[in-house]
Structure 1
Amino acid sequence: MKSVLYIKNMVCPRCIMAVQGILDKMGISYTTVNLGEIVLKEELMGEIREDLNDRLEKFGFTIINDRKGQLIEQMKNLVIANVHHSNEGKDIVWADLISNELKLDFKYLSSLFSSVESITFEQYVINQKIERSKELLVYDELTLTEIAYQLNYSSVAYLSSQFKKVTGMTPTQFRKSVVKNRKSLDDV
């Protein structure tokens, strides 16, 4: 019987590869490994589950056992996948995306997110978009207009306004600065 494990702090393709390596080394059969989620071919019990969790924790991951924590991690992973791992300028309606994927009312999910994470879901999305824009600014391959389009901002001015509100400097100042104050995705 298939079983799904939700994993905290899986934020990139390397995280997926690290988790797959752990599963392979332990001989645990799985169907898929995605951001924040492992679909196992059969349920893990007792010592094997504890051993897996111990090995995951050495890499900074954790099995999430409570339903609310799983929902919040799924919300975060949907944002990360759409902001950091997609190069299209998508017109995303976050409330629709989240409620359709998780099959729950967005107001409930947003309230749950805020109560546990101490920031609103909307602020989390903004923080992720700003981190992605920092990454793109550091690469120095795209113009500010292209970055605004890619991150679905209505204008460069709107991106610049949010960027300054979050970082204290404009995107241009950030690009010119010597110190690039980037955070790892799981710290955002």
Structure 2
Amino acid sequence: MDRLAIAADKLECTELVTRVARAIDRCDAELLKTLFHPDATDDHGIFVGSVDEFIEWVMPLLATMKRTQHIIGQVLIEVDGDHAVGESYFIAHHAMNSPEGDILMIAAGRYLDRFERRDGCWKISHRHAVYDWNSVEPMTDSYDRANPASMTLGTRGTSDASYSHLASQGITAS
């Protein structure tokens, strides 16, 4: 197979991984749904089911958190025709409430993804989250979120600055 075509396929799969992180952090269920095939499945350990069930589970869970940020590290994609598998390292930060005050829970691990190209379009057909370590500590966010002055602070949803930034160039968030 053509090395350039394989590189393009790997890039498309890698972009799916990063777009899932974006959709989760922005709490954008519509975007999230576009990244998986309709019959896709997800295994997060504490949740196992269809992608639709995953979205129904994860969005309310995310709503209990103040903010999240998923950082994607090295991504290894192996392509075989219209199928691919990937291992993507992540560090996921979760700003959460607790009875003792705000906490930061960090989870690190890997996403083991299966990708399929159907009708010329790559999407995720299965995701398995593997957890390597986590940490919980008091939250030390010092931003004045009520009065940010000239700072632009990230928000969940389509009011986040990234949506208008992309739209200004005619690019949709998906």
TM-score, structure 1 length as denominator?
0.27
TM-score, structure 2 length as denominator?
0.28
> Which has the higher Rg, Structure 1 or Structure 2?
1
Which of the pair is proportionally richer in strand?
A: 2
Which of the pair is proportionally richer in helix?
A: 1
